[in-house]
Copies of this chain bind each other. A is one copy, B any other.
Amino acid sequence: MSLPQLDFWFDFGSTYSYPASQRIQALAAEQHVYVRFRPFMLGAIFKAQGWNTSPFNLYPAKGAYMWRDLQRVCDELGLALVRPDPFPQNSLIAARVAVAVSEESWAGDYCAQVFREEFAHGRQIADPAVIRSVLDHFSSDADGILERAQSPEIKEQLRSETEMAAKLGLFGAPSFVTEDFEVFWGNDRLESALAWTHRAEKIRTR
Contacts and interface: CB of A to CB of B under 8 A. Distances in A.
A83 interface: no
A71 B111 CA distance: 32
Contact of A188 (B169, B171, B189): B189
Interface in A179-199: 182-186, 188-189, 192
A185 B65 contact: yes
A115 B192 CA distance: 25
Contacts of A121: none
Contacts of A62: 171-172
Contact of A183 (B68, B183, B184, B188): B68
Contacts of A184: 69
A170 to B, nearest CB: 7
Contacts of A61: 169-171
A134 B65 CA distance: 35
Nearest to A175: B65
